[in-house]
Amino acid sequence: MNQDRPSSITDKRIRFDSFSGTEDALFPSKKQRLPAMGWNSWNAFGSGNTEDLTKAMVNKIKELGLDEYGYKYVVLDDGCYRPERVNDHLESDPVKFPSGFKAMADTVHAAGLKFGMYNDIGDRLCSGAEVGIYKHEKIDCEDYINWDIDFIKVDNCYYMWDNATFSNPENAIYSYAPNIKLISLAGTTYSAVKDAEITGTRASVKDDYVTFIGTFDGTAPDHSPVGTRSSELVFEVEIDEPNVYELVVSYASGKEEGVGRWLQIAVNSDVVFDEMLPETESPETFTDSAPIKLKLVSGFNKIRIMNHRRQENTLNSYTEIRKELENFGKDRDIVFSICEWGKTQPQNWGHNVGDSWRILNDITFQVGADGNNGTAAWECDYTTSITSQYNKAVIMDEFAGLDKGWNDPDMLVIGMDGITETMCKSHMATWCMMNSPLMLGMDLRRVNKSDWMYNLITNEDLIALDQDPLGVQAKRIFTTFKCDDPSTEYIRDNNRVDVLAKPLSNGDIALAFFNLKQEEHSDKISISVDRIINSIGHKLTPSAAENFKNAASYQLKDLFTKECKVTSDKSFSIDSISACDCVVYRISPLA
Amino acid sequence: MTREQFIQRLLEVFKEDTSDVFSNGLEKGWLEFEDQLYRDDVITRKNIARIIHMYLLKQKRIPDLQDISKAGELRDIYDCRVCAKHVAQIYLRGIMGAKELSAKGGFLWFDLNGEDDDHSIEEYLIRAYGITKEIG
């Protein structure tokens, strides 16, 4: 077991309380950029990608002209490194990439494309190769800059400070506060259950103590990303005399999801304690902490018992990498793709350091190989399907934006086995509506001009939605599933049709009807102009919203059939929609 | 059993040339460079699953099972993005079994980083060989 411990956090901008703040940015140089587009080796070839295959993909991108549609980044995913360092440096796998990474970058750049690589905040990659970036931030980032990378995807396996994939499950000691029963302060004892407020949605009362003080693990699709996902225990204590007081916490530690050993204490917004407590006999054997000194003011003081380290440690690790990339490559323009699978609610903090953040575990675990298309799925109980990823991403629009970055529901699975052309069509359309990064994941040698895959991935009208300069992710404004608020409710029952609306920079609105069911929906669905404007009008300029609302008529362009029609109706409808299908209109107000 | 011994035994069971344990697998893509680099390490269950699966796929042209949803019953199947597909194929073909996570039963896991004794590994290889006779 790793005997280290998470580093102390001295930069307030990495603290939970600063996650939403933008006044004092961690990286003022961070660009406002649209979602990245390109090809990534993982879904196509898994760990089996090679120099020859990558060159073939580069050639095919040029032959198909995919770069002219925006697909610029060629990213080497896991499986490309020699599985151990050489003189502390990363090297390419000598069998798969015998010419090395710089030569690969040169090949990609010579084709007018951009070159991307992969690493991990832990001490190993997900493949097990012992070349994770932890404790090698400087040396690796200098190498990455020397190799001329334009993009880096950073994974989360073998992470030391959380129970991430392949990490020690007992790393939960860092992720959660201990169970808390009582605190004693200035001669008074306060009950965690009776005298404190539990904030957020994670913690709960068990018998006479409070447990699960921390945040959800968002890797699996079980929890909504919306709302306050972490919990604190807050005591409001009235003090007569301003002074330094001693606080004693009655706690019991554990090492599993929900109960750990790391405790943070804040008085109002000042974190005054941020350390590991001694282990107790069991998660229900309570003991008193050593006295902790708190400086309190007269009147009411909020004493916050918490542990936000699950999020702060991960942000800190990504920050270290970005800092070094900027240090060695001051003038370089590198896309930073966070891939911690939604584990630590990156929608709260990802915008501080990255250009996009994965929201769940992988969209498929049946990736392809040379000669094998791999397999994807339309729906499943876990993350490994198009609808699993969609169902979470579709309610995350408020976390994304040009000034933040993008939710990443994982790479495209178009062209894999197990899904139909119609499913792929809806996959592409919804990813574009949701401003997702568009990373192709098929063996491009299978794609030919004018075949259905080519036509889909080069649908300029759809790509224009993804890359619209206004940079606003679509909002779900209606669903046939009964719910109170379609824009925020986490719905995993796929027996429904959703309607998404997306404001565009020229005052148009994109409207998508998406049938998640594997059967036809034969009832008419109508969406009024008022509903659209009430839901997303505030994302347009006031004049554009008024213009749309009061237009005498509208042009509707079907972005798949390219048919245009003009209507003076104040609602837009479909009479029916096929199984797993998607109908997308670009609606332009006419004078 | 080490990685090298395992690969050697695999080649013997399948009646392949054993004069160079690694060259064929690296060339055909059913071995990883790490297998050669860590040839003396004890082989883990996830690496047994990977090597057998890739050998069947690349060398014996045994196509993958399309529906691996039943492998979702393994509690640790999604702990490993790089080996889930290998584990699923080998588990669903009955080459390697699951372990019980609970004494009461009902909680299956693959034990990705676990190690098996030589007798068990021999059985896996014989089952894999049998599949090539059935399908190949």
CATH number for A277: 2.60.120.260
Q: Tens digit of pLDDT for each residue in A221-233? A: 999 999 999 999 9
Helix (H, G, I), strand (E, B) or coil at A358: strand
* pLDDT reading at A431 higher than 90: yes
Q: What is the CATH number of the domain that holds A384?
A: 3.20.20.70
* pLDDT reading at A211 higher than 80: yes
Residue with tokens 């400086």: A295
Mean pLDDT for the stretch of residues A368-374:
91
Helix (H, G, I), strand (E, B) or coil at A214: coil
pLDDT at residue A542, as a whole number: 94
Q: Tens digit of pLDDT for each residue in A74-86? A: 999 999 999 999 9
Residues of B in Cβ contact (< 8 Å) with A383: 78
Neighbouring residues of A294: CB distance < 8 A, sequence distance ≥ 6: A185, A244, A245, A246, A247, A265, A267, A272, A301, A303
Contact A553, A505 (CB under 8 A): no
Split into its structural domains, chain A has a count of 3
pLDDT at residue B72, as a whole number: 87
Q: How many CB pairs under 8 A join A and B?
A: 72
Residues of B in Cβ contact (< 8 Å) with A365: 77-78, 81, 84-85, 88
Mean pLDDT for the stretch of residues A519-537:
97
List A155's β-bridge partners, or say none: A120
Q: Which residue of A48, A126, A372 is in closest CB contact with B81?
A: A126
CA distance A222 to A361: 12
Whether residue A6 is contained in a domain is answered as: no
Split into its structural domains, chain B has a count of 1
pLDDT at residue B69, as a whole number: 86
A41 lies within 8 A of chain B by CB: no
One domain, residues A216 and A93: no
Chain A: residue nearest B82 by CA?
A127
Most A CBs within 10 A among B22, B31, B74, B81, hence the mutation to make, goes to: B81
Q: Which domain holds residue A511?
A: 475-590
Place A142 in a pLDDT band, splitting at 50, 70 and 90.
Answer: very high
Q: Which residue of B29, B37, B85 is in closest CB contact with A367?
A: B85
One domain, residues A425 and A565: no
Residue with tokens 């009646």: B15
One domain, residues A515 and A545: yes
A483: exposed, middle or buried (Cβ count in 10 Å: 0-12, 13-18, 19+)? middle
Domain C-terminal end among A306, A332, A361: A306
Could A380 and B69 be called an inter-chain contact, meaning their C-beta atoms sit closer than 8 Å?
yes
Whether residue A5 is contained in a domain is answered as: no
ipTM for the whole complex: 0.80
Within the 369-398 window of chain A, which residues sit less than 8 Å (CB to CB) from chain B? 369-370, 372, 375, 377, 380-384
Strands A243-252 and A179-185: antiparallel
- Amino acid present at A303: I
Q: Tens digit of pLDDT for each residue in A4-38? A: 889 999 999 999 999 987 678 899 889 999 999 99
One domain, residues A98 and A214: no
Print burial letters for A126-160: b (CB count within 10 Å at least 16), e (below 16): bbbbebbbbebbebbbbbbbebbbbbbbbbbbbbb
Residue with tokens 């003396």: B40
Q: Both tokens of residue A584?
A: 């997308």
Closest by Cα among A440, A346, A410 to A73: A440
* pLDDT reading at A176 higher than 60: yes
Whether residue A9 is contained in a domain is answered as: no
Count Cβ atoms below 10 Å from residue A69 Cβ, excluding itself: 17
One domain, residues A260 and A183: yes
Closest by Cα among A486, A586, A469, A475 to A538: A475
Q: Tens digit of pLDDT for each residue in B45-97? A: 999 999 999 999 999 999 999 888 899 889 888 878 888 999 999 999 999 99
Place B136 in a pLDDT band, splitting at 50, 70 and 90.
Answer: low
Contact B73, B53 (CB under 8 A): no
Q: Under the phi-then-psi rule, with left for phi > 0, alpha for psi from -120 to 50, and beta for the rest, what region is A514? A: beta
pLDDT at residue A580, as a whole number: 98
pLDDT at residue A100, as a whole number: 98
Chain B: residues touching A (Cβ < 8 Å): 26, 29, 32-34, 37-38, 57-58, 64, 66, 68-69, 72, 77-82, 84-85, 88, 113
One domain, residues A480 and A442: no
Q: Tens digit of pLDDT for each residue in A109-125? A: 999 999 999 999 999 99
pLDDT at residue A407, as a whole number: 98
Could B57 and A372 be called an inter-chain contact, meaning their C-beta atoms sit closer than 8 Å?
yes
Place A1 in a pLDDT band, splitting at 50, 70 and 90.
Answer: very low
Whether residue A319 is contained in a domain is answered as: yes
- First and final CA of chain A: distance in angstroms? 69
- The gap from C-alpha A226 to its chain's centroid, in whole angstroms, comes to 13
- How does DSSP classify residue B42? B
Place A2 in a pLDDT band, splitting at 50, 70 and 90.
Answer: very low
Indicate the length of chain B as a whole number: 136
Q: What is the DSSP string of A376-395?
A: --S--SSS-SHHHHHHHHTT
Whether residue A489 is contained in a domain is answered as: yes
Could B68 and A375 be called an inter-chain contact, meaning their C-beta atoms sit closer than 8 Å?
yes
Could A369 and B80 be called an inter-chain contact, meaning their C-beta atoms sit closer than 8 Å?
no
Q: Which domain holds residue B26?
A: 3-135
Mean pLDDT for the stretch of residues A65-81:
97
Q: Both tokens of residue A330?
A: 């001051």
The pTM is what? 0.94
Give the gap in angstroms from C-alpha B47 to the nearest C-alpha of chain A. 11
In three-state form (DSSP H/G/I as H, E/B as E, the rest C), the secondary structure along A528-564 is EHHHHHHHHHHHCCHHHHHHHHHCCEEEEEECCCCCE
Domain C-terminal end among A466, A495, A526: A466
pLDDT at residue A141, as a whole number: 98
Domain C-terminal end among A435, A466, A497: A466
Q: What percent of chain A has pLDDT over 70?
A: 99
